Amino acid sequence: MDRSSLLQLIQEQLDPEHTGFIGADTFTGLVHSHELPLDPAKLDMLVALAQSNERGQVCYQELVDLISSKRSSSFKRAIANGQRALPRDGLLDEPGLGVYKRFVRYVAYEILPREVDRHWYFYRHRSCPPPVFMASVTLAQIIVFLCYGARLNKWVLQTYHPEYMKSPLVYHPGHRARAWRFLTYMFMHVGLEQLGFNALLQLMIGVPLEMVHGLLRISLLYLAGVLAGSLTVSITDMRAPVVGGSGGVYALCSAHLANVVMNWAGMRCPYKLLRMVLALVCMSSEVGRAVWLRFSPPLPASGPQPSFMAHLAGAVVGVSMGLTILRSYEERLRDQCGWWVVLLAYGTFLLFAIFWNVFAYDLLGAHIPPPP
């Protein structure tokens, strides 16, 4: 019996008068009698919904959302009110798990702050589709770096090579009209050190985030950080080019770190304080290195070196838009008031940046280096 047939049978047998409510105990017996048991997490959710109702009934639409893996606000309130007790055994006590399931459990404890969310994610997670976005972006960045490294015969500080800035992927203020460069610069990197740092964070933080929150949300957050990075540079550091995926990387990392801080008591990842300090030190060091290369280049250069403002813009996107996304696990973003506020702010920034790039350079008489 498929999902739609089950829902139709439920409504016909348990709600023939179309009142909109179904008895929780009767529903559970019906599911087991038809040999279509829900996973343990969903059955727990059903009990929570029933216990939040004085008559032990579940709203039919909430039941549809539950079976469709959509959690409603009333369910969230039922959990928050403490009207049900979660099983004493946490996921760490699950015996006999395979390698992949252990990894899923690890991801649940790394990313999610509440036991109920961890149970929900663990039982409903499917290996297909895999987290392809972050892996694909990282692979593409490595391939592009290897191609340019072999072509230029230079693997560190590639931006000092006179041919590097001629790439059609690099953002250069002289090529602002080529709009694709505001995004494609993320595939180019200063050198092996920047690529290694970004790739490591994309795989260690980006992949788990994508596994939990999905391709659409994480790709949106990453690309929003990348776009905000290049646009911010075009406003605040008008003579500088931009390379590297740091805007997207800092959006992901800042969102995750802010989420950990705001849910500190509930996060169960080991050594979280030490890891938080190390992450902040590494991110600050990367920003410091970018500032040093921008204002005190160690080698003679034909023009300004890439700006560091993309890092900071990505961090702002992560703390604002990213935190809103990560706090809305299994809830539709369009139902969150905060999401529309953040989206409006980001849209306003985009419009301002577009007008700035179109008019401000000429009005201010900015002296930008000639495009390569």
Q: Are 140 and 130 in contact (CB under 8 A)?
A: no
- The token pair at 334 is 């369009």
59 phi, psi to nearest 5 deg: -65, 135
* CA-closest candidate to residue 228, choices 140, 358, 315: 315
Q: Are strands 21-23 and 57-59 parallel, antiparallel or unpaired?
A: antiparallel
- Position 102 scores a pLDDT of 87
- Position 76 scores a pLDDT of 54
CA distance 159 to 165: 7
The active-site residue out of 119, 189, 213, 311 is: 311
Q: Are 275 and 269 in contact (CB under 8 A)?
A: yes
Residue 170: strand pairing partners: none
Beta carbons within 8 Å of 186's beta carbon, 6+ residues apart: 137, 141, 226, 244, 245, 247, 248
Residue 58: strand pairing partners: 22
CB-count exposure of residue 2 (10 Å: 0-12, 13-18, 19+): exposed
Local mean pLDDT, 10-residue blocks, the chain (372 residues) = 60 66 65 55 61 63 61 51 44 74 88 81 80 95 95 88 90 92 95 93 94 92 97 94 94 92 83 87 92 85 86 95 83 84 96 95 85 76
- Position 13 scores a pLDDT of 64
Which runs of E-coded beta strand occur in the chain? 21-23, 57-59
CA distance 152 to 244: 17
Distances 121 to 70, 117, 190, 211, 250 between C-alpha atoms, Å: 12, 6, 38, 10, 25
Q: Is 175 part of the annotated catalytic residue set?
A: no
Q: Is 311 part of the annotated catalytic residue set?
A: yes
- Position 60 scores a pLDDT of 64
- Position 84 scores a pLDDT of 39
- Position 34 scores a pLDDT of 54
Helix/strand/coil for 142: helix
CA distance 54 to 27: 17
- Position 129 scores a pLDDT of 79
- Position 43 scores a pLDDT of 62
The active-site residue out of 52, 246, 254, 320 is: 246
Residue 209: CA count within 13 A, CB half-sphere? 33
- CA dihedral in degrees (185, 281, 131, 44; nearest 10)? -140
Amino acid (1-letter code) at residue 266: G
Helix/strand/coil for 198: helix
- Domains parsed from the chain with CATH numbers: 1-27+38-81 (no CATH), 130-362 (1.20.1540.10)
Residue that has been written with the tokens 């702010």 in this structure: 345
23 phi, psi to nearest 5 deg: -70, 130
- Position 83 scores a pLDDT of 37
- Position 127 scores a pLDDT of 79
